[in-house]
Amino acid sequence: MTTDSCLLPGLISVEQARDQLMQAIPPLRETETLPLEQACGRVLSAPVKARLDLPPSDNSAMDGYALCGESGEPYRLLGKSLAGHPFSGSLKAGECVRITTGAVLPAGADRVVMQEQAELRENTLIPQAETKAGDHIRRCGEDVRAGQVLIDSGRALKVPEIALLAAAGVREVTVLRRVRAALLSVGDELRPLETPPSELGDGDIYDSNRIALKAALAQLDLEVIDLGCLPDEPAAIRDALVQARDRADIVVTSGGVSVGEADFTRRVLEELGQLDLWRLAIKPGKPFAFGRLPRDKGETLFFGLPGNPVSALVTLYQLVLPALEKLKGIAAENRGTFFQGRARLLNPIRKAPGRTDYQRGYTYRDSDGLQVVRSTGIQGSHILSGFAEANCFVVLSRESGNCETGDWVTIEPFQKPLT
């Protein structure tokens, strides 16, 4: 069977779907200024410059003694330079001071000898190792120069960058505002978690997708607006979507956007705006909806995820997450990519060509240091127990078929929000 004959007609590849989302989504523009300690995870809207040199002065990289020149004789000890309490004088040839790590290098000093390599006899220091100019000295500005751009716009701040900015004297930064995400469920069969199992009727299920999606979105530094669970009633659905449109940048739902008799969500969405239904070449998660709800200024984006719980989380991860990074204003070169590696398969996997398959797996290094992976339980789109045990996807290409024990396969370790 050729590769082309394996591809099911009418299905959009995962890559095509991502590209279409990227082309359709404009980044946010509204900004706010925050104290630096509140800005972790936020996306810079303007470059940030250093306010001073780092280090701000020449200082010692070691506990030891600051020496003036190379002396064939013992050095005369004049005093000490401590962090926050520099030596006030200057050194001449053959003179030294006691110095601690980070303390300012005295005028005239050109090298530092470690305390382990020197012997002090009263006020006389005898180096026990050869020294040369520049030894164990951190030079002023060797890390950062005043006025230098430290971090450019379009980057989400992480802890190391917060540390850099703080050291360079930056007190506050201008960032893009948080994305506001509205979340809702629709379905007469859905019940809140407060309902005792004994009170569930025939066909009733807990509203678990909304809870899982809310937990996932909360990890992505979004402002989540939970609009709850709605019955299959057009008026209630319309009111909720109007609220979402007016309060949020995106709306996320799971299920309820197909061609079924009671799928009123689709009808209401098409009344309020534009809706595209995509059949994706992905497993699990073939049905996916993307739409726009126009408002007075701009538009609210709609993501309709599949109703099966594993499918909803897989499509959120593979499609909505990259789209959110663009919406947040993260520059293309700074957006996260799905890290992929290779692992040896510990069990056979059955797969038919036609869709890219994201099977749930558990990967680790075996006793020989080899990266291996095994499937976690039944791979149905409704099976959550295997997903809960997994720490990666086993990514099987659209064209591939069955895999056997010992085959090398592509793995994609989980990142936020699945970690």
How far apart are alpha carbons 407 and 344 in whole angstroms?
A: 6
151 is written with which tokens?
Answer: 């971090």
Residue 184, CA distances (Å) to 199, 224, 395 in order: 23, 11, 30
Q: Domain span at residue 407?
A: 341-413
For 332, the 3-state DSSP assignment is: helix
* Residues 215 and 257 grouped into a single domain: yes
H/E element holding 185? Answer: strand 180-186
* Residues 245 and 305 grouped into a single domain: yes
H/E element holding 309? Answer: helix 309-315
For 239, the 3-state DSSP assignment is: helix
Tell which residue, 159, 327, 182, has the closest CA to residue 241.
182
* Residues 40 and 11 grouped into a single domain: no
Strand ranges (DSSP E) for 231-369? 250-254, 274-279, 282-283, 287-294, 299-305, 341-345, 356-365
* Residues 79 and 10 grouped into a single domain: no
Residue-by-residue pLDDT tens, the chain, 419 positions: 334 445 566 899 999 999 999 999 999 999 999 999 999 999 999 999 999 999 999 999 999 999 999 877 899 999 999 999 999 999 999 999 999 999 999 999 999 999 999 999 989 999 999 999 999 999 999 999 999 999 999 999 999 999 999 999 999 999 999 999 999 998 889 999 999 999 999 999 999 999 999 999 999 989 999 999 988 889 999 999 999 999 999 999 987 766 554 578 888 988 999 988 889 999 999 889 999 999 988 899 999 999 889 999 999 999 999 999 999 999 999 988 889 999 999 999 999 999 999 999 999 999 999 999 999 989 988 899 999 999 999 999 999 999 999 999 999 999 999 98
- The CATH number for 117's domain is 2.170.190.11
Structural domain total, the chain: 4
371 is written with which tokens?
Answer: 């990266």
HSE-up of residue 177 (Cα within 13 Å, Cβ side): 11
Only one residue has tokens 């520059």, namely 331
Which residues are registered as beta bridge partners of 398? none
- The CATH number for 158's domain is 3.90.105.10
Which residues are registered as beta bridge partners of 412? 393
